[in-house]
Structure 1
C-alpha cells in the first residue's frame, strides 16, 4: 500500500465521520443554513427588496420571496454583471459560470467566495465516500481524466467567467496535479472533436484509473480509443476501475459502456450544476444520491403536478415524501433566491435523504395530458432492452400530433448500436413499459386517443451531428430525453 493510498483511506474516514453529523441532523442543518443565508444577505439589494430583516422562518420566506427562474431573476443578475456590489449577495462574485440559455441567450450564474469551495469539496467527498465504503483506493496512484470544458476565462467588468467545469479545473488540488489528464494545453482546445482526438493520443499509453464526464461524451472518447487500439478500453487501461459521471442517467448507457470497456467498473453519480453541487452517490449498495444539506444551499420542493398552480405549496426537507416528483427550488450563498433550476427529483430514501433526478420541468410530453417525464422514458427503454442484445447509443422522444394517417403517437428517435431483430416487437415492449409506469398514457392508449409508439431510426452519429449543428457538441451539453414539441425531431436526419 502506497503512502498516498494509506492517506486517502485515513482522510476518507475523517470526512465520513464529519458528514454523518449533518446527515443525522438534517432538519436542524437546513434551518441553520437558512438562517445563515438570510443574515448574510439582509443588507443586499435583494434582501432589502424582499424584507429579509423581518424573515425568521421558511414560511416568512415563502411569503416574501416568490419562485423565480433565470429570466425572472435576470434584472438583478444584470446589475451584478455590470459590476454593482451587494446586489444578490454581499460584495461581488468571484466568477460567473456561463451557460447556454433558451430564451435568454447566455446565462451568467454567479459563484462567490462562499459558494465555490462547496463545488470542490462535494466532488472530493464523493470519491472519499466511495473509498470509505468499499476500501478501494488504489486508483489514487493512477492517472485520472476529467472530460470537461475549456479552463480559459473571459473577463466581464473585472469578474472572470467561463464554463463551470473549466472554472473547477483551476481548483484541482496540488496532490492530484501530477495524476491529472489531459494536459492543460489539450484541455484548452475548444473544438470538441479535435479535443477528444488529442486526449486519445495523450492517454492511450497512460495508466488511467479514473475517468469522469457526461456519459454521452465519454462514450465518444471510448469509441475512439477502441478504434485506435483495436481492443476494449478495459484492456487498454488495465487499472481503470472507477467511472464518475453526472448530467444524465447512466442506465441507458450502461450496456454500451460495459461492451466498450469489456468488463464492469464501479460508478459514482454526481449532481452538479452551475447553480450548486446538490448531491452525490454515497453508496454502491443504495439507490440514489445523498442530498447535500450542509453546503450553503437551502432547499424547497414543489410537487410537479402542482407546479403550474397559481400558488403551489413549497415543502421543506422535513415535509417531503418518497416517490413523488418534485421541482427543486434553491436559495444559495451565491445569491440565488427561491430559484427554479428546472430539474425534477424524487426521494429514494428519507434516512438519509437520497434523491434521483427524474427529469426537467420543461422537458416533458403532455400534448394530450399524459405528463410523461424523463425518468419514465429512460426506464421504459431500459426495461425493453433487458434480456436482449439491443444496444442504444442515444435517443430522444417527441409527440407526433398530426400524422399523415392514423392516430397521433409518441415518436422515439433512437440511434442503435445493435438493432433489435424485430423492431415492432421492441416498440411494443417500450410501449408496455410506458403504460405500466404512467396511468395517463395508458388511458390514452386504451381510449384510442394515441396509438402505440413509433420508432424512427437515427443514422450512426446522427445525434452528434445534430448537437454539432446547434453548436453544442461535447463539454457539459446534454441532449434532452424528450420534448413537448418537434424542434429537435424535425432536424434529425432519419433513416428511411
Structure 2
C-alpha cells in the first residue's frame, strides 16, 4: 500500500468522524449556520434592506425575506457584477460563476472566500467517505479524469468570471495534480467534440482509475474511447474502479455504461451547483445523498404541491418528512437569500438526512393536471428497460395537445435508442403502465379517457448532441431537461429528424 493510499484512509476516518458529529445534531447545526449567516450579512445592502439586525428566528426571516429566484435577486447580483462591495455578502465575491440552462439565459452566481472552499471540500469528502466504507483506496495512485469546463477565466470589473468547474480546477490539491487529467491545454479547448477527441488521445494509454462527469458527456467519451481502441473501457483501463457523477440521474444510463465498460464499477453521486454543493452519496448501499448541513448553507423546504400558493409554509430541516416532493430553498455564505434553486428533492432518510433530486419545479408535465415529474418518468423508463432489455442514449418527454379530430392528447416520449426494440407497442404499454403506477393523477386521466396512452418517437442517433450543438450548449455542465410542459425541445428534435 502506497503512502498516499495509507494517508487517505487516515484522513477518511477523521472526515467520517466529523460528519457524524454534525449529522447527528441536524437542528443544532442548521441553527448555528442560520445565525452565522444573518450576523455576517447584517451590514450588507441586502441585510439593511431586509432588517437583518432584528432577525432573531426563522419566523422573523420568513416575514422579512421572501422566496426569490434569480430574477428576483438580479438587481443585487447586477451590482455585485459591476464590482460594488457589501451588496449580498461582505466585500466583493472572489469569483462569478457563469451558468446557463437549456431553457434559460445566462446567470452570474457569486462565489465568496467563505463559500468556495466548501465546493472542493465536499467533493473530497465524498471520495473519503467511499474509502472509509469500502476500504478501497488503491485508486488514489492511478490517474483521475474530471470532464469539465475550461479553466480559462475572464475578468469583469476586477472579478474573475468562468464556469464553476473551471474555477474549481484552480483549487485542485497539489497531491492530486500529478494524477489529474486531462492536461491544462486540453481542458482549455472550447469546442466540446474536439476536446473529447483530445482527451481520448491523452488518456487511452494511461492507468485511469477514477472518471468523473455528467453521465451524458462521459458516455460520449466512452464511446469515442471504444471506437478508437476497439476495446471495452474496462479492458482499456484495467484498474478503473470508480465513476463519480452528478447533474442527472445515472440509472437510465447505467446499463449502457456497463455495456461500454464491460463490467460493473462503483459509483458516487454528487449534488453540486454553482449556487452551492448540497449533498453527496456517503453510503454505497443507502438510497439518497447526505445533505450537507454544516457547509454554510441554510435550507428551507416548500411542498411542491403548495409552492405556487401565495404564502406557502417554509419548513426547516426538522419539519420535513420522507417521500414528499419539496422545492429546496437556500440561503448561503455566497449571498443568496431564500433563493429558489429550481430543484425539487425528496428525503429518503431523516436519520441522517439524505435526499434524491426528484426534478425541477419548472420541468414537469401538467397540461391536464397530472403534474408528472422527472423522477417518475426516469423510474418508469428504468422499469421498462429492465423488462424489455434495451438500452437508450437519452430521452425527453413532452405533452402533445395538437391531435387529429376525435383523437385524445397524449405524452410523447422522444427516445434515442442504442437499438430500437422490435416490439415497440409492448414497450409503450409497459412504459405507460409504469408511469401510471408512479403517478395516480396520470392514471386517472388515462382511465378517464382524458388522455390516451403515451406514444414513443424514435430519434436518430446523436439527435440530442446535435440539438445541444445547435443551441451552443454542447458539453460542460449543460444537459437536456428530462421533461417539459411545452413543446419547445420536442419540436426542435422533430425538426432535426427531417
- Give the TM-score normalised by the residue count of structure 1: 0.99
Determine the structure 1 residue equivalent to 2:142.
142
Q: Secondary structure of 1:418's partner? A: coil
Q: Is contact 2:345–2:357 with CA below 8 Å preserved after alignment?
A: yes
Determine the structure 2 residue equivalent to 1:420.
421
CA–CA separation in structure 1 for the residues paired with 2:400 and 2:491:
11
Determine the structure 2 residue equivalent to 1:227.
227
Determine the structure 2 residue equivalent to 1:378.
378
Q: CA offsets, 1:406-444, max 9 Å, x none? A: 110000000000321200100110100010111110010
Question: Mapping of 1:151-190 within 5 angstroms?
Answer: 151-190=151-190
RMSD across aligned positions (CA)? 1.0
Determine the structure 1 residue equivalent to 2:131.
131
Q: Is contact 1:71–1:104 with CA below 8 Å preserved after alignment?
A: no
The 1:105–1:387 alpha-carbon spacing in structure 2 relative to 1, beyond 3 Å, is closer
Q: Secondary structure of 1:379's partner? A: helix
Q: Is contact 1:144–1:180 with CA below 8 Å preserved after alignment?
A: yes
CA–CA separation in structure 2 for the residues paired with 1:280 and 1:74:
29
CA–CA separation in structure 2 for the residues paired with 1:114 and 1:331:
13
Determine the structure 1 residue equivalent to 2:263.
263
CA–CA separation in structure 2 for the residues paired with 1:74 and 1:403:
40
The 1:470–1:28 alpha-carbon spacing in structure 2 relative to 1, beyond 3 Å, is same
CA–CA separation in structure 2 for the residues paired with 1:222 and 1:380:
26
CA–CA separation in structure 1 for the residues paired with 2:103 and 2:430:
37
Determine the structure 2 residue equivalent to 1:328.
328
Q: Is contact 2:102–2:481 with CA below 8 Å preserved after alignment?
A: no
CA–CA separation in structure 1 for the residues paired with 2:424 and 2:315:
44
Matched, 1:433 2:434: yes
Determine the structure 1 residue equivalent to 2:23.
23
Determine the structure 2 residue equivalent to 1:478.
479
The 1:120–1:139 alpha-carbon spacing in structure 2 relative to 1, beyond 3 Å, is same
Q: Is contact 1:393–1:416 with CA below 8 Å preserved after alignment?
A: yes
Q: Is contact 2:396–2:482 with CA below 8 Å preserved after alignment?
A: yes
CA–CA separation in structure 2 for the residues paired with 1:226 and 1:316:
48
The 1:104–1:289 alpha-carbon spacing in structure 2 relative to 1, beyond 3 Å, is closer
Q: Which runs of 5+ in 2 are unaligned?
A: none
Mean Cα deviation higher: 396-405 or 270-279? 396-405
Determine the structure 1 residue equivalent to 2:337.
337
CA–CA separation in structure 1 for the residues paired with 2:268 and 2:21:
22
CA–CA separation in structure 2 for the residues paired with 1:495 and 1:190:
27
CA–CA separation in structure 2 for the residues paired with 1:74 and 1:32:
28
Matched, 1:51 2:57: no
Question: Mapping of 1:7-18 within 5 angstroms?
Answer: 7-18=7-18
CA–CA separation in structure 2 for the residues paired with 1:328 and 1:224:
37
Q: Is contact 2:96–2:111 with CA below 8 Å preserved after alignment?
A: yes
Determine the structure 2 residue equivalent to 1:453.
454
The total of aligned residue pairs comes to 496
CA displacement at 1:105 relative to structure 2: 2.9
Question: Mapping of 1:391-430 within 5 angstroms?
Answer: 391-405=391-405, 406-430=407-431
Q: Secondary structure of 2:469's partner? A: helix
CA displacement at 1:358 relative to structure 2: 0.1
Q: CA offsets, 1:461-495, max 9 Å, x none? A: 01100110001111100100000000001111465
CA displacement at 1:386 relative to structure 2: 1.1
Q: CA offsets, 1:188-220, max 9 Å, x none? A: 001000000000000000000000000000000
Q: Is contact 1:95–1:111 with CA below 8 Å preserved after alignment?
A: yes
CA–CA separation in structure 2 for the residues paired with 1:153 and 1:226:
32
Q: Secondary structure of 2:418's partner? A: strand
Q: CA offsets, 1:314-343, max 9 Å, x none? A: 000000000000000000000000000000
Determine the structure 1 residue equivalent to 2:488.
487
The 1:66–1:102 alpha-carbon spacing in structure 2 relative to 1, beyond 3 Å, is farther
Matched, 1:353 2:377: no
Determine the structure 2 residue equivalent to 1:300.
300
